[in-house]
Structure 1
Amino acid sequence: MLPNIGLDQLLLLDIETTPATAALEQLPDNMQRLWGEKMAKTAPESENEAEVYADRAGIYAEFGKIICISVGFFSLENNAYHLRMKSFYDDDESIVLNGFLALVDKFHTKYPHFQFAGHNIKEFDIPFICRRSVIHQLSLPKPLQLHGFKPWEMPMLDTLHLWRFGDVRHYISLKLLTAVLGIETPKDDIDGSMVGKVYWKDHDLERIVAYCQKDVTAVAQLLLRFKRLPLLREEQVTLVK
């Protein structure tokens, strides 16, 4: 069911994003106006721009920031797959991005034909990373220089698209897909809609990182399920510093 690519040729990833500031009024005046203009087009029925900013700014690269990127790598040990994970996280987004981009460069050197893997990474995670990197004037490694690629040439294995089976309109959340395939949910503590509050009100970055890593593990389990392979046990998942 999966394209003919080895699991050890995949770089699994998930990102967590939040509004760039704790509140709309903390944005520069021109950005506040531009947020209002954007909402007038995308959410014209909303009356409170500040509340909508708190709820939705984190999904727009122009008004949000990345606070965590977690990645995962498969390895085959004693005829069983294991998953190693590493997370880049900080209040300073440039630190998060620099760490991740350096890892992509290193992974590309080892596996020139690797692919990114994740859930909804084609429409969200990868574009968000690239846009925020440009904003910070960071050089994108070759695997993220995606201009000119045809949609089917993108070096990405997206579990959302795998489940579509050609149905371009169908959307399924990671929570629902894991549930229907009998995989432990990664949303047992918080979900994406809560990340902004947990970050700006509680400043519990470690809790967000743990949630991000659970999403990466869930994607790994989905890929194994699609290949009809045994799921990972807890002892087969390792965190790398």
Structure 2
Amino acid sequence: MMLEKINLEKVLFLDIETVPEVYRFEDLDPVTAELYNQKTRFLQKDEQTAADVYERAGIYAEFGKIVCISCGFVHETRTGKSIRMKSFYGDDEEKLLVDFKRLLDDNFNSPYHVLCGHNAKEFDFPFIARRMLINGISLPNALDIAGKKPWEIAHLDTMDLWKFGDYKHYTSLSLLCHIFKIPTPKDDISGADVARVYFEENDVERIKVYCEKDVVALIQLFLRFRGNDLIDEADIVFTSNS
């Protein structure tokens, strides 16, 4: 799939923010606590316990939940390109997943549509699919990859594209934006702060803003990969479903 031949208006760019289902390890029921212990035993070094590595609970779909899905669409006209942003976020994970599924079913449900994220093949796409099933939501066609051949799965991953077949290293979106000279606004939080901001400050709006910035950066990076000009900040339009 040659990037310059992809119709940008057929690509849905996305990023998710996740947190543990409960904030502290001691709040887990005994069965869940033991299952988390088993799941993370390989992480427990030098007398560490499951509680010591509980800050990673949000990266596991079995022990975490989604609090925000931000999506970006590129709109092309004769005068240039613009970005339209839409976010699904809040405390009700089932609702935001149902709303996101409706977006995919209504607007990104053909063989010509593509989903794109950064490290999304390893994280975002499977996490969303797993949380949908856990919430009793049937998978949209764009995420239902069971039985499909690799070339039938319309998923793009900017980290995967940057590897060029080299699977030894993880490369962050921040690093790629830096080396491609993509301006990114300074964030007041990082990924490590999301659980604290969610549980202690109850500020999902702040998390949403952080997530949307990553999607804008993702789109700009994809444009750089194609050899295109960046989209001006003035040409970014935001709408949200809270």
TMscore range, shorter length: over 0.9
Matches within 5 A, 1:11-30: 11-30=12-31
Q: CA deviation at 1:95?
A: 1.1
Q: Does 1:75 align with 2:75?
A: yes
RMSD (Å), alpha carbons: 1.7
Q: Does 1:201 align with 2:200?
A: yes
Structure 1 residue runs of 5 or longer lacking an equivalent are: none
Q: Aligned residue for 1:160?
A: 159
Matches within 5 A, 1:124-203: 124-185=123-184, 188-203=187-202
Secondary structure of 1:211's aligned partner: helix
Judged with a 3 Å threshold, the aligned counterparts in structure 2 of structure 1 residues 222 and 44 are, in CA distance, closer, same or farther, namely same
Question: Partner amino acid for 1:50?
Answer: A
Deviates more, 1:208-217 or 1:167-176: 167-176
Judged with a 3 Å threshold, the aligned counterparts in structure 2 of structure 1 residues 227 and 208 are, in CA distance, closer, same or farther, namely same
Separation in 2 of the partners of 1:69 and 1:171? Answer: 22
Separation in 2 of the partners of 1:131 and 1:64? Answer: 11
Runs of 4+ in 1 over 6 A off after TM superposition: none
Judged with a 3 Å threshold, the aligned counterparts in structure 2 of structure 1 residues 152 and 123 are, in CA distance, closer, same or farther, namely farther
Deviation per CA, 1:192-231: give whole Å up to 9, x if none.
1111111111111111000000010001101111112111
Q: Aligned residue for 2:108?
A: 108
Secondary structure of 1:143's aligned partner: coil
Separation in 1 of the partners of 2:104 and 2:162? Answer: 26
Secondary structure of 1:8's aligned partner: helix
Deviates more, 1:1-10 or 1:44-53: 44-53
**Seq. identity, %:** 47
Q: CA deviation at 1:88?
A: 0.3
Q: Does 1:92 align with 2:89?
A: no
Secondary structure of 1:149's aligned partner: coil
Structure 2 residue runs of 5 or longer lacking an equivalent are: none
Number of residue pairs matched by the alignment: 239
Deviates more, 1:185-194 or 1:206-215: 185-194
Q: Aligned residue for 2:66?
A: 66
Question: Partner amino acid for 2:174?
Answer: K
